[in-house]
Amino acid sequence: MVQTKTFSIQGMHCASCVRLNERALKHIEGVQDAVVNLATGKATITYDPQKVSEELIQEAINSVGYTADFKEKTEDEEKERKTKELNDLRTKVLVSLGLASLIVWGSFPGLVQTSPDFLQDFLVQFLLALPVQFWAGLMFYQATIPALRHRTANMDTLVALGTSVAFTYSTIVTFSPQMVSQAGIEPMPYFDVTAVIIGLILLGRYFEAKAKAGTSEAIKKLIGLQAKTARIVRAGKEIDISIDQVQIGDIIRVRPGEKIPVDGVITEGESSIDESMVTGESIPVDKTRGDKVVGATMNKSGTFLYKAEKVGQETLLAQIIKLVEEAQGSKAPIQRLADLISSYFVPVVIMLAIATFVGWYVFGQQSAFLFAMLNSIAVLIIACPCAMGLATPTAIMVGTGRGAEHGILIKDAESLEIANKINTVIFDKTGTLTNGKPIVTDIVTSDKAKVTREKLLQLAASVEKGSEHSLADAIVKKADEENLVLDPVTKFKAIAGHGVEGLVGRHRVVFGNIKMMEREDINISLARRPLAKLGEQGKTVMVLAVDGKLTGLIAVADTVKDSARAGVEALQKMGIEVVMITGDNARTAKAIAKQVGIKRVYAEVLPQDKEKIVRQLQTTNYKLPTNVVAMVGDGINDAPALAASDVGIAMGTGTDVAIEAGDITLINRDLRSVARAVDLSKKTMNIIRQNLFWAFGYNIILIPVAMGVLYPITGWLLNPALASFAMAASSISVVANSLRLKSVKL
């Protein structure tokens, strides 16, 4: 069978390009015709799908120097098709409900007296029900026939079966009523039942389709964030190219208000960048030369040039999308029971419907046949396997999507499920609770030395400039921030584990720890008190001496993140025990723990032993047989501990993040995100439990009611039309309940 296909061709700019591409396409065996349009940049081919593949087309287009893009068109086509489908469905709903109301008017006891005579005519009712059954309801047959060929069944099979039985019976009543009367049954058709069932189920489908589209909104939003073009600088000229063509190493210009196309590093200029769409952090970040920028974030104020470092599938956004898609494709363990039941559900319902018919026919009193038929139809229609199928996946989709919007990336549904049971959270200290970069916190001058604070810092920075020690960076940076001009140093010497010394002008400057001072025989007795005080606060203190005399102290410390205390408190409020683990000494560890409000601290733990502590905490809990432990780390140094924990939470430092390191990855720096992730997990699991409870409860209660088990006691029976309403409402309510996650506050 011949098909047509339309796709984009990139790189065309003149009429000869059109000819070249057309010729290349027509040369493919199996292509009957090819038309290329320069204005739209698109090609339409008529071809034999057995002989022509997308690969062959791509090869042909590439051979003449262009690129074919099938994706864009396919997505548009799909979108168009979906919209058309939804519009068709709406028309069918309106027509079938309209026709159904006419039939109901002409047949429903109480209403029938008010209806015109022609509506009471069975033949008219038949004619009105005919399009509902075979035009609006065609989709049920279209799904049932191939399924039966495969010896499988689904929701559509039940609807097709139920309505066909009622329609066939009603048709017999209409055309040969004597056949029914002979059996002692009053000839009364049930076209109202078939039409109402189909109308209401289609209405349910319409709302369900609309609601379901909302569950995948987050991922669509993420994909939509991507910039379409990039302005690259090549040979001194700036040109706009498609984002797909940006290559690593390209220099890209970004102007105020523009989206940053791909990931890279700023080479010139500075700006304030809104990264909220990717990290969930609401405050714009100032960036300058050497800073990393992320594709899809928004440039606010300045113009800058940057070098592309990651393109295509390697960008942070592409990885986030991939992770969210994967999570949405995974299955939560809680779903297992629903899975097991759903594989038997439809056949069991059909068997129950047969049993209902037999039961009513054999044991029923008056009009046994009618009761048997109507009740077995009610059983087929009331059964709602859809609610069970939708209960977990829709909530997972909305939950993971909602997380991604806030910079919380959940690897899979299982992690989301376990996270709701977390009762212990272990934080790694350096780089997680703290910023991981030491800064100068205190500058104390000696009363005797009579130097200013600035002079003290300037001297210390001058000698430290030549040092490679990590603390030296903090001091030099502080001097730089205060615009101090450093002096040249001669005879510089670094003494490992002690400090540094050198000549600044004619003065001999010594800067280091107490051991250094002892080595140099410098009297520090006057500094004992501030030294002890700063030490207790967990700070590293260094002493400066000029020409053998104590001049002052500089304290350096890693600072806690602004959100650390609030992050810890939020977890504690949820009843979760918070623990800190660090390789640092006990004094520093305790000082930091005190600042953030953590009571339980494991200090001086070697990296390889962190994993052991995690395991220890998992098994030793005085309240519970097992603990569900989450480990929060940077994802690079703590990989084994993260893997050993029940939920490994990798915390990014802004946009620089090892995205697949944890079960949950937090892209933003905000430590409150840990509690938010746990909260999201709890809320999602609650929704899933409600959905499953509803889906199971609904079927467990209403199927027996439809069978008529309450009839002997209360005289209650379920009208098949009412059953269709309940069924439609059931699956919509599950999806709508999942959509509530979209508005939960995190």
Partner 1 sequence: MDMNELVVLFIGALGIIFTYWFFLGKKPSFAEATGGRGIDVIVEGGYSPEVISVPKRKTTKINFTRRDSNSCLEEVVLPDFKIKKYLPLNQKVTVEITPEKEGEYPFSCSMNMFHGKIIVR
Burial of 711 per CB tally in 10 Å (0-12, 13-18, 19+): middle
Window contacting partner 1 (CB under 8 A); options: 337-345, 476-484, 556-564, 732-740? 337-345
By CB under 8 A, tell whether 331 contacts partner 1.
Answer: yes
- Mask of contacts with partner 1, 254-293, x by CB under 8 A? ----------------------------------------
Instruction: Kindly state whether residue 378 participates in binding partner 1, applying the rule CB under 8 A.
Output: no
Beta partners for residue 10, in sequence order? 67
Interaction between residue 486 and partner 1 (CB under 8 A): no
Least Å distance, CB 156 to partner 1, is 7
Does 47 sit near partner 1 (CB under 8 A)?
no
Contact flag: residue 213 with partner 1 (CB under 8 A) = no
* Residues 391-410: x where in contact with partner 1 by CB under 8 A, - otherwise, as a string: --x-----------------
Distance CA 558, CA 83 (A): 56
Describe the strand order of the beta sheet including 251-254 as a list of residue ranges.
Answer: 237-242, 229-234, 251-254, 304-310, 263-269, 292-293
d(CA 581, CA 434): 12
CA-to-CA distance for 615 and 645, rounded, in angstroms?
7
In the DSSP assignment, the letter for residue 656 is B
156 binds partner 1 (CB under 8 A): yes
E-state strands within 280-430? 285-287, 292-293, 298-299, 304-310, 408-410, 424-428
Cα–Cα distance for residue pair 739/684, rounded to 1 Å: 10
- Build a one-symbol-per-residue string for 411-440: x at contacts with partner 1 by CB under 8 A, - elsewhere: -xx---------------------------
Region binding partner 1 by CB under 8 A among candidate stretches 124-132, 150-158, 192-200, 549-557: 150-158
Using alpha carbons only, give the angle 416, 421, 427 rounded to the nearest 5 degrees: 85
8 A C-beta contact, residue 677 and residue 403: yes
Supply the minimum distance, in Å, between the C-beta of residue 412 and partner 1. Answer: 6
Using the rule CB under 8 A, is 342 a contact of partner 1?
yes
Residues involved in catalysis: 428
**Does residue 224 interact with partner 1 by CB under 8 A?**
no
DSSP 292-318: EE-TT-EE-S--EEEEEEE-GGGSHHH
- Is 343 a binder of partner 1 (CB under 8 A)? yes
The residue within the footprint of partner 1, chosen from 274, 291, 326, 454 (CB under 8 A), is 326
Q: How far is the CB of 692 from partner 1 (least distance, A)?
A: 13
Between 707 and 736, how does the x/- string for binding to partner 1 read (CB under 8 A)?
Answer: ------------------------------
Closest CB to partner 1 among residues 58, 618? 58
Q: Which residues of 423-453 are buried (b: 16+ CB within 10 A; e: fewer)?
A: bbbbbbbbbbbbbeebbbbebbbbeebebee
- What H or E segment, with its residue span, contains residue 124? helix 122-131
Of 211, 381, 390, 688, which lies in the binding site for partner 1, with binding defined by CB under 8 A?
390
For the record, the structure tokens of 195 come out as 């039409």
Q: Which amino acid is at 413?
A: A
Nearest approach in angstroms of CB 431 to partner 1 is 29
Rounded to whole angstroms, the Cα distance separating 435 from 653 reads 9
Residue (112 or 148) nearer to partner 1, CB: 148
Residues that bind partner 1 (CB under 8 A): 74, 77-78, 81, 85, 139, 142-143, 145-156, 205, 209, 325-331, 338-339, 342-344, 346-347, 350-351, 354-355, 357-358, 361-362, 385-386, 388-390, 393, 412-413
